[in-house]
Amino acid sequence: MIRETTHWPSPAKLNLFLYITGRRANGYHELQTIFQFLDHGDDLTITANDSGDITLTPEIPGVALEENLIWRAAVALQQFTGCQFGADIQLNKILPMGGGIGGGSSNAATVLVALNYLWQTNCSEDQLAEIGLKLGADVPVFVRGHAAFAEGVGEEISKVEPEEKWYLVVRPNVSIATVDIFTHPDLTRNTPKRPLSVLLKSDYGNDCEKIVRLLYPEVDKQLSWLLQYAPSRLTGTGSCVFAEFSSENGARNVLEQLPDNVTAFVAKGNNISPLYRTLANYRLAHNTSI
């Protein structure tokens, strides 16, 4: 076990596009999407210990410890490996909940990757992804740490190398439940499947955007404003919208013009997750391949 206090990024993600190509008999939707990480997110401070207990600070209002994905991820790794160690975890929460940029899923993945290293439990990437899938559909993408093209109901994942652009990400002051979007009768569910090579050369879109803009005027208003300056769209099914730029300056110039009552940040797209750069640095420092 590695006992030192360690610091780990828990990056945001964007869905660069999201198309719904069908609906299965069990109600699950088939889709095509690309996940790309951002160099912006939450931070987790983790110290492994001998107690076997998982502590998490600070408490998140309205979320019981046993329901928190961070705590559940740590316990799931303990149970999967039979590990007797514990950990003290401190969360610096930056990403908004319900924003569609992967905050909770990213937190869970960071815990799995970090504790697998600190506890030296030797799980493979595939095993960590298997544990993560039981916590949430997006967790395996964060566990694997590479920009990904996902198909099926999100379980068919392959690496992809989209352009690493600069993004202005804006969160209108609303929280959106995914179930409300996927159950809406007017949601587009028949976008034709296309090969990845075709998708990468096409204009990107999000089939959920029309419904979100219809139900949430705040999102509609913000997207309309951003579209004056750059290609912009919804990410996932959350409330965050983003505009893409070829330079950091371009993104920051528009950020400065945003109204004061809107939460926003500028970040660069990363095809390799910041989490894995941190893991590589710790491995190098300790001369270990675990």
Active site positions, annotated: 13, 138
Helix 274-286, helix 103-118: angle, nearest 10:
10
**In 3-state terms, what secondary structure has residue 137?**
coil
What are the angstrom distances between the C-alpha of 206 and each of 34, 98, 155, 191?
A: 11, 17, 19, 11
**In 3-state terms, what secondary structure has residue 198?**
helix
Give dist(CA 194, CA 198) in Å, integer.
6
Give dist(CA 28, CA 190) in Å, integer.
13
Bridge partners for 46 per DSSP: 6, 89
* DSSP-derived secondary structure for 76-128: HHHHHHT---EEEEEEE--SPTTSSS-HHHHHHHHHHHHHHHHTT----HHHH
Q: Are 17 and 204 in contact (CB under 8 A)?
A: yes
217 by Cβ neighbours in 10 Å (0-12 / 13-18 / 19+) ranks as exposed
Give dist(CA 279, CA 284) in Å, integer.
9
**In 3-state terms, what secondary structure has residue 74?**
helix
Radius of gyration of the chain (CA): 19
